[in-house]
Amino acid sequence: MSVRVRIAPSPTGNLHIGTARTAIFNWLFARRHGGKFILRIEDTDVERSRVEYTENIQSGLTWLGINWDEGPFFQSQRLDLYRAAIQKLLAQGLAYRCYCTPEELEQMRDGQKASNQAPRYDNRHRNLTREQQEAFAAAGRQPVIRLKIDELREIVWQDLVRGEVTWKGSDLGGDMVIARTPEKEGEEFGQPLYNLAVVVDDLDMAITHVIRGEDHIANTAKQILLYEGLGAKIPEFAHTPLILNQAGRKLSKRDGVTSIDDFKQMGFVPEAMANYMALLGWTQPDSTQEIFSLAEAAANFSLERVNKAGAKFDISKLDWINSQYLHQMPAEKLVDLLIPYWEEAGYHSDDRLWLIQLTQLIAPSLTRLQDAGPESRLLFGESVTYSEEARDLLKQEGVQEMMQGVREAIAAWPNLTETEAKKIIDQITKTQKVKKGLVMRSLRAGLMGELHGPDLIQSWLLLNQKGLDLIRLQQALTL
């Protein structure tokens, strides 16, 4: 049977990094086995679901390079399916109506907690007579639907990353709610609940492997019971470790930057993001290989090599991976990614060739795309702000003569090349009888206003193309 997996996010927020990583694992698994990867939007929580989040999830996945073969499917459009399943369960006597009010349930749990017992539903309405049910209904109460859970049952499954996992029926918290109270008059029951909808959908979509975060591990036991109730074949399960924050807790929205959007805006490229997320909890058969594309990962992916323990999110490693991608990216491609950041910083040029050269110059010093602004600052604009150290150097004995000499030499060469630039520096070195290093440093100070920065010759050539070198040296001479 061919592999079918899915990612089933709920649109209650922007695409979260944890969801994205689960999506990547699923996608990798599907690609590895020549299967299908399906996108399903779990929007049964009408209160919290929003369309813009649905869009954000899709654009985020696409940005990362995760494409889906089927979907997106929306649970909100599949309510009939769930309704039928609930009815079937009801008809078979596997589920029943519970008329408890939220207040009653709360009171019950409080009592349990007070006597140090695990809070759970005590199945009090499991065996209500027809008369009792009618009495509740007559009193205006609306029922939820609960699935009967056999307290004596042992639920066991072979988890593809964790091995055998066992759960007792009695630890499931009592008969579980599978449908809310009806919202409209005359309805038999209301919206289906997560566990029910998931099972019905996974069944309907013929999902073979459920790969999801470890936080779903307790749901698996409940869902297995649902599969059985519906007389269906149970899929394979694989529970992946969670992505943790610095404190070692499950990464949540409250931890600040956790949505894919955030990382995109911070200047991370999708290839690096995907690479890092895949690396977080999974290793190549050759574990020393850390920089790889999704396609390369797909060729080698296996759940066996997924780690069991949670992994702390480490931004500095992400930074390093991102820098690797930025450094090896062709300038012709990188320049397009950089332009928006230059524009944002207020640096503009229509000269694409010049921008490509600039890109080549600063690429090695980029960690994130947003570094392009600060790293290029000295190359844009006519006037220069001289740093303290640069001023001091420029005021040193003989330095003004050097600058003057360079100015004159520049004027003699209409289109400066690297060879010529070097020749000019050598010439000044000779005529002024100083060390070459001093000429270089002084020239940097005069041209850039600072003592540190990208390669001097290349920077100079870029300025020269715009005639900025003459203007700046002029300014340096007035200090």
Partner RNA sequence: GCCCCCAUCGUCUAGUGGCCUAGGACACAUCCCUUUCACGGAUGCGACGGGGAUUCGACUUCCCCUGGGGGUACCA
* Residues of this chain, 314-343, that bind RNA according to CB under 7 A: 314, 316-317, 319-320, 323-324, 327
Token readout for 260 is 């894919």
Token readout for 219 is 């749901």
- Cβ proximity to RNA, 113 vs 352, nearer residue: 113
Among 32, 33, 83, 180, the residue binding RNA under the rule CB under 7 A is 180
What is the radius of gyration, based on Cα positions, of the chain? 32
Among 50, 308, 348, 391, the residue binding RNA under the rule CB under 7 A is 308
Residue 456 in the binding site for RNA (CB under 7 A):
yes
Residue 444 in the binding site for RNA (CB under 7 A):
yes
Residue 177 CB, shortest distance to RNA, in Å, is 4
Q: Which of 221, 176, 223 is nearest to 201 (CA)?
A: 223
Among 81, 108, 128, 165, the residue binding RNA under the rule CB under 7 A is 165
- Cβ proximity to RNA, 4 vs 444, nearer residue: 444
* Residues of this chain, 215-234, that bind RNA according to CB under 7 A: 215-219
3-class DSSP state of 4: strand
Among 168, 253, 395, 430, the residue binding RNA under the rule CB under 7 A is 168
Residue 360 in the binding site for RNA (CB under 7 A):
no
Give the interface segment with RNA, choosing from 243-251, 255-263, 350-358, 402-410 (CB under 7 A): 243-251
* Residues of this chain, 85-124, that bind RNA according to CB under 7 A: 100-102, 105, 109, 116-121
Residue 76: DSSP 8-state: G
Residues near RNA (CB under 7 A), total: 88
Give CA–CA dist 103/53, Å, rounded: 33
* Residues of this chain, 408-437, that bind RNA according to CB under 7 A: 436-437
Torsion of CA 245, 251, 252, 255, to 10 degrees: 20
Token readout for 249 is 């807790």
Is 148 a residue of the active site?
Answer: no
Give CA–CA dist 278/281, Å, rounded: 7
- Cβ proximity to RNA, 142 vs 465, nearer residue: 142
Out of 36, 148, 184, 253, pick the active-site residue.
253
CA distances to 110, 219, 370 from 174, rounded to whole Å, are: 15, 13, 53
The DSSP code sequence of 249-264 is SBP-GGGSS-BHHHHH
253 is in an annotated binding site: yes
The 3-class secondary structure across 395-408, one letter per residue, is CCCCHHHHHHHHHH
- Cβ proximity to RNA, 352 vs 455, nearer residue: 455
Strands (DSSP E) found in 286-402: 311-312
Residue 140 in the binding site for RNA (CB under 7 A):
no
Residue 2 CB, shortest distance to RNA, in Å, is 25
Residue 470 CB, shortest distance to RNA, in Å, is 20
Per-residue interface string for the shown chain with RNA, residues 18-57, x marking contact by CB under 7 A: ------------------------x-xx--x---------
Token readout for 3 is 């592999």
HSE, CB side, 13 Å, CA atoms: give it for residue 373: 10
Q: Do residues 457 and 421 touch, judged by C-beta distance below 8 A?
A: yes
Q: Hey, what amino acid is at 367?
A: T
Residue 294 CB, shortest distance to RNA, in Å, is 17
Q: Hey, what amino acid is at 226?
A: L
- Cβ proximity to RNA, 103 vs 350, nearer residue: 103
Binding residues for ATP: 253
List active site positions: 253
